[in-house]
């Protein structure tokens, strides 16, 4: 199945030559484009070259085994033969994964929206916990996070909060967080020590450029109002908050975190574009049965994906049956122990599907 990989190698060599040509070096846009393509195919080429080398190593070992009667040399050749064949199997699996279709959104920044679900004030407090968790995860990854809009409650929870996470590969890892997150704990508002179950929904949207989702001004209704803090207390005497209604879909986005009306409008339109892009993408995915089957819960907001059980110190991801008794670590941003297995499961499902097709 790797016969055509020489095409990647040829293109890789061509790109490396082009990057040193004067016309490319003097054109930042072209240089950036060629460099991006080079980086995208380099892992495939390097693995392919290592894969090809195992055949040469095997041939050399077989030559020695067939021509030498020296016992020690014979044993060394056998070890080299076994190592070459074992490495080839490993590289073959690696190449299969590298050749899987890439999610074109993986390199994008993300807009994360968290909303309190069932549970009232406790759900809002849990939303604040999730926001803190993702903020700490972003910080650990060297990414930047910025609040776009927040509707805070008197106790410090969030009825809803939207924030952007900027960093290479942010969407590739956080896209698995979309869905319903459930918490089981004794609420801060509970006096009798009873365990309650509450939920919050998380939506992870890839950030899109203005040109990718065009907004017709005639489709937008834009209202201004005064920003307010928790409990409705006014924190701004001017009408700087923005509410954008997308008339064709009825979608409403509010932004009031900035004192500048222009900045709030810009942020609201950014969120609206990302939501519309996500809807369009879901419609496309739904038309492709193979893609839908291979997903490991990466987009459906109604799917209950994870439970955080405080009394047991347990976090369970229901999609892959993973349970960790590390709730404090997870809520402090240590999400890789959950995200890495999700990525592995997603790849395994896609590999299985690709093998069935071929």
Q: Who has greater pLDDT, 206 or 233?
A: 206
Percent pLDDT > 70 in the chain is 87
CB 132 within 8 A of CB 331: yes
In CATH, which of 1.20.58, 1.10.3470, 2.60.310, 1.10.287 is domain 3-98? 1.20.58
What whole-number distance in Å separates Cα of residue 251 and Cα of residue 256? 17
CATH number of 110-348: 3.30.70.1660
pLDDT(234) > 50? no
pLDDT at res. 283: 72
Give the model's confidence band at 98: pLDDT under 50 very low, under 70 low, under 90 confident, else very high: confident
Identify the sign of the CA torsion 281, 283, 288, 294.
Answer: positive
pLDDT of 46-56, one tens digit each?
A: 999 999 999 99
Pairing of the two strands 144-152 and 158-166? antiparallel
What whole-number distance in Å separates Cα of residue 255 and Cα of residue 243? 7
Place of tokens 């021509």: 67
pLDDT(340) > 50? yes
CB 198 within 8 A of CB 122: yes
What whole-number distance in Å separates Cα of residue 110 and Cα of residue 148? 12
| Domain edges within the chain | 3-98, 110-348
pLDDT of 19-76, one tens digit each?
A: 999 999 899 889 988 998 898 889 999 999 999 999 999 999 999 988 888 888 889 9
Average pLDDT over residues 307-323: 95
pLDDT of 144-200, one tens digit each?
A: 999 988 889 988 999 999 999 999 889 999 999 999 999 999 887 666 778 899 999
What whole-number distance in Å separates Cα of residue 240 and Cα of residue 329? 39
In the predicted model, what is the mean pLDDT of the chain?
A: 85
Average pLDDT over residues 236-253: 80
CB 291 within 8 A of CB 285: yes
Average pLDDT over residues 322-340: 95
pLDDT(141) > 60? yes
pLDDT of 201-223, one tens digit each?
A: 999 998 887 656 778 888 889 88
pLDDT at res. 68: 80
pLDDT at res. 70: 85
pLDDT at res. 200: 95
What whole-number distance in Å separates Cα of residue 298 and Cα of residue 179? 8
């Amino acid at each position: 199945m790797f016969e055509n990989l020489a095409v990647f190698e040829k293109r890789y060599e061509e790109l490396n030559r082009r990057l040193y040509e004067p016309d490319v070096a003097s054109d930042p846009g072209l240089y950036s484009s060629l460099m991006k393509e080079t980086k995208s195919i380099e892992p495939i080429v390097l693995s392919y070259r290592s894969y090809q080398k195992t055949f040469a190593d095997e041939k050399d070992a077989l030559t020695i085994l067939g021509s030498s009667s020296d016992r020690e040399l014979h044993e060394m050749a056998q070890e080299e033969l076994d190592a070459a064949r074992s490495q080839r199997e490993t590289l073959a699996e690696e190449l299969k994964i590298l050749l899987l279709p890439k999610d074109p959104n993986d390199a994008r920044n993300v807009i994360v929206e968290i909303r309190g679900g069932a549970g009232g004030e406790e759900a809002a407090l849990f939303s604040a916990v999730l926001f803190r968790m993702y903020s700490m995860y972003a910080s650990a990854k060297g990414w930047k996070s910025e609040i776009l809009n927040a509707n805070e409650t008197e106790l410090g929870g969030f009825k809803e909060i939207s924030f952007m996470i900027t960093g290479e590969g942010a969407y590739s890892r956080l896209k698995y967080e979309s869905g319903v997150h459930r918490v089981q704990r004794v609420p801060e508002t509970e006096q009798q020590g009873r365990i309650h179950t509450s939920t919050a929904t998380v939506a992870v949207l890839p950030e899109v450029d203005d040109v990718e989702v065009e907004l017709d001004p005639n489709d937008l209704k834009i209202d201004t109002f005064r920003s307010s803090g928790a409990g409705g207390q006014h924190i701004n005497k001017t009408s700087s908050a923005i509410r954008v209604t997308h008339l064709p879909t009825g979608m409403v986005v509010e932004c009031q975190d900035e004192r500048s009306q222009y900045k709030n409008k810009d942020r609201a339109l950014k969120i609206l574009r990302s939501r519309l892009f996500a809807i369009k993408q879901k419609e496309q995915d739904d038309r492709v049965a193979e893609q839908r089957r291979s997903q490991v819960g990466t987009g459906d907001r109604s799917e209950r994906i994870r439970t955080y059980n405080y009394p047991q110190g347990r976090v369970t991801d229901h999609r892959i049956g993973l349970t960790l008794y590390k709730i404090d670590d997870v809520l402090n941003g240590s999400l890789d122990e959950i995200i890495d297995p999700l990525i592995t499961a997603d790849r395994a499902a896609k590999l299985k599907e690709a093998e069935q097709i071929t």
